[in-house]
């Protein structure tokens, strides 16, 4: 299947309040997002993840739960996840369990994603 676009959906809200709630929840152990752990270090996006996105040759967008349009809202209950847009519409490429299994490692994520979208 050929994908025109990839979208990573965080299990967190992107507003300032949402970011603070997630940060506080992470400290308390009540909030977790495997995709956040893959894409971000303590304060910003990992350089290795930026490189991963650039190497894809397919647009890859990262969205929070409060940034989803009507088509992507259908995947909110599956967050975190990575979905792909093809001629058949959006479908899940990587689910939460697969993201967890990457254990925050960008290389593991990249290898898994590339195997799912049939890139070398």
CB atoms within 10 A of CB 72: 18
Q: pLDDT digit string (tens) for 6-18?
A: 999 999 887 777 6
Q: pLDDT digit string (tens) for 68-110?
A: 999 999 999 999 999 999 999 999 999 999 999 999 999 999 9
Pair 10, 25: CB distance under 8 Å: no
More confident residue, 19 or 49: 49
Domain ranges for the chain: 5-116
Model-wide pTM > 0.95: no
Task: Measure Cα distances from 83 to 8, 37, 43, 74, 89 in Å.
Answer: 6, 18, 25, 11, 10
Mean pLDDT for the chain overall: 90
Q: What is the pLDDT of residue 11?
A: 92
| Residues with Cβ within 8 Å of residue 21, at least 6 apart in sequence | 12, 13, 31
């Amino acid at each position: 299947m050929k994908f025109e676009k990839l979208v990573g959906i965080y299990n967190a809200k992107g507003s300032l309040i949402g970011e603070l709630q997630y940060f506080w929840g992470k400290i308390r152990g009540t909030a977790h997002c495997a995709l956040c752990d893959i894409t971000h270090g303590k304060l910003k996006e990992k350089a290795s993840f930026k490189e991963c996105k650039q190497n894809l040759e397919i647009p890859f967008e990262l969205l929070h739960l409060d940034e989803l349009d009507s088509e992507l809202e259908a995947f909110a209950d599956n967050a975190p996840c990575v979905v792909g847009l093809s001629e058949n519409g959006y479908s899940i490429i990587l689910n939460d369990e697969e993201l967890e299994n990457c254990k925050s490692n960008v290389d593991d994520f990249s290898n898994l994603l590339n195997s799912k979208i049939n890139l070398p």
